[in-house]
Amino acid sequence: MNITVVGIGYVGLANAILLAQNHSVTLIDIISEKVDLINQRKSPIQDPYISEYLESVKLDLNATMDQNIAYKDAELIIVATPTDYDPTTNFFNTKSIEDSIEKILKVDGGGLSQIILIKSTVPVGYTESLKRKYKYSGCKIYFSPEFLREGKALYDCLYPSRIIIGFSGILKHPYLKSKIGISEKKALAALFVEGAIKKDIPILYTDSTEAEAIKLFSNMYLAMRVTFFNELDTFASKNELSTKQIIDGVSLDPRIGDYYNNPSFGYGGYCLPKDTKQLLANYKDIPNNIMQAIVDSNETRKEFVVDEILNTKAKIIGIYRLIMKSDSDNYRDSAILGIIERLKDKGVTILIYEPRINQDKLEGLAIIKDVDAFMDMSEIIIANRYHPDLDMAKDKIYSRDIFNKDW
């Protein structure tokens, strides 16, 4: 099958590699450096599995910037373009998706043979709106949410927790609604199953709007767990109690579990901050308490952390790493950025150690390349996640990381 994937981010690239084990896959992106790296079988993002598969596994995969090459003979087009949250509109900016569909239809001459599968995270009800907008184009638009972690995106494709296929059915008659697209739904799910290593993968077929809601509610729940254990840690810290002992005891309850329970400076990264705000925006005029509280709690946690840091009276504050997760090279919306922003006007000097940034300053703040020099210069070192590098300066470290794991 000829498949095109739009967007060489971690979602698009991981899915392209998964599918290229058994099908002919073309990646398209507007950034030439990414295209060149893929064609050299090098990964443009930090992900051990992606790097290994590009280098060692036989893949029918190529990348291009040419729309005609990408779309002309494609039987399935997967759109995995970024949809950043726009605080001025309180919604995701979905322009990249619409732009992609317009280009697809232009090249295809009407889209009569196209199946478009959206992997980008979108607002609840978005795929239905696309179906109405392009109802005369002939293309079929599906939505399939992703549950991938940065740094482990391909691993999560190879061992997925579930596969969900949502179809934007316009016809609402109960019988017809249950039958429309069902064979295509199964065929789409089978594409992702055949490339996976995990067996007996749960598969769920839903309406597209329900599939969109599943994605956002899943991430809101994960954010809720983060904020719960962070507030537990705040309580323990203020009362001079052992956070670890309390979490160990709480987590032994099988209904709660010993996972996603490691305190931090707040949830961050590409997905949780924007997805929680988007779902909260979807709650406009709908009664809620928890949804707003989760978003507010994340900001409260950062204020607590900043107060704790300032109470040390340190004047030279070192920030150890900006990335959210150990295997990632991305620091977009990292929780530590919120800490830095709050510290900047507090009359302290801020130094940053982040070896994956090839520049000397970040927003006017010095980036120290030598870890030993960084530790010597810093009066206190702030680390969202602990690393063995920090052992040499244990007496300077401030971290809420209890279990030495990402989550």
Q: How many residues does the chain have?
A: 407
Cβ atoms of 37 and 16 within 8 Å: the answer is: no
Tell whether 62 and 8 lie within a shared domain.
Answer: yes
Tell whether 259 and 126 lie within a shared domain.
Answer: no
Domain that holds residue 269: 237-398
Cβ atoms of 160 and 201 within 8 Å: the answer is: yes
Tell whether 292 and 184 lie within a shared domain.
Answer: no
Residue 107 to residues 75, 101, 103, 254, 271, Cα–Cα distance (Å): 13, 10, 6, 53, 32
Tell whether 151 and 66 lie within a shared domain.
Answer: yes
Tell whether 191 and 298 lie within a shared domain.
Answer: no
Tell whether 191 and 255 lie within a shared domain.
Answer: no
The phi, psi pair for 61, rounded to 5°, reads -140, 130
* Coil/strand/helix, residue 289: coil
d(CA 407, CA 401): 9
Tell whether 55 and 162 lie within a shared domain.
Answer: yes
User: Can you give 235-283 as a three-state secondary structure string?
Assistant: HHHHCCCCHHHHHHHHHCCCCCCCCCCCCCCCCCCCCHHHHHHHHHHHC
Give pLDDT, residue 176: 46
- The 10 Å Cβ neighbour count of residue 339 is 23
Q: For the chain, what is the domain count?
A: 2
Examine the fold and report which residue of 173, 201, 229 is the final residue of a domain before the chain moves on.
201
Give pLDDT, residue 182: 63
The two tokens of residue 364 are 């006017």
Residue 404 domain-assigned (yes or no)? no
Tell whether 171 and 267 lie within a shared domain.
Answer: no
What pTM was computed for the model? 0.91
Examine the fold and report which residue of 201, 227, 248 is the final residue of a domain before the chain moves on.
201
Tell whether 256 and 150 lie within a shared domain.
Answer: no
Examine the fold and report which residue of 184, 201, 218 is the final residue of a domain before the chain moves on.
201
d(CA 212, CA 251): 30
Residue 103 domain-assigned (yes or no)? yes
Residue 188 domain-assigned (yes or no)? yes
Give pLDDT, residue 218: 97
Residue 403 domain-assigned (yes or no)? no
d(CA 382, CA 371): 13
Tell whether 284 and 159 lie within a shared domain.
Answer: no
Residue 223 domain-assigned (yes or no)? no
Where in the sequence numbering do the catalytic residues fall? 271
Residue 230 domain-assigned (yes or no)? no
Q: Express each pLDDT in 291-305 by its tens digit.
A: 999 999 999 999 999
Residue 46 domain-assigned (yes or no)? yes
Domain containing residue 267: CATH number: 3.40.50.720
Instruction: Specify the amino acid at residue 45.
Output: I
Residue 232 domain-assigned (yes or no)? no
Strands of 269-390, DSSP E: 316-320, 349-353, 361-362, 365-367, 380-382
Tell whether 194 and 279 lie within a shared domain.
Answer: no
Cβ atoms of 295 and 238 within 8 Å: the answer is: no
Tell whether 273 and 169 lie within a shared domain.
Answer: no
The phi, psi pair for 184, rounded to 5°, reads -65, -40
Residue 406 to residues 86, 135, 294, 319, 322, Cα–Cα distance (Å): 27, 44, 20, 17, 13
The tens place of each residue's pLDDT in the chain, 407 residues long, gives 999 999 999 999 999 999 999 999 999 999 999 999 999 999 999 899 999 999 999 999 999 999 999 999 999 999 999 998 888 888 899 999 999 999 999 886 554 457 999 999 999 999 999 999 988 777 889 999 999 998 899 999 999 999 999 986 544 445 445 555 667 888 999 999 999 999 999 999 999 999 999 999 999 999 999 999 999 999 999 999 999 999 999 999 999 999 999 999 999 988 899 999 999 999 989 999 999 999 999 999 999 999 999 999 999 999 999 987 666 667 778 899 999 999 998 999 999 999 888 888 888 899 999 999 999 999 999 999 999 989 999 999 999 999 988 77
d(CA 403, CA 385): 9
Give pLDDT, residue 113: 58
The two tokens of residue 310 are 């300032």
Give the DSSP letter of residue 111.
-
In terms of Cα–Cα distance, which of 249, 213, 50, 215 is closest to 125? 213
Strands of 298-390, DSSP E: 316-320, 349-353, 361-362, 365-367, 380-382
Cβ atoms of 61 and 21 within 8 Å: the answer is: no
DSSP bridge pairs for 91: 86
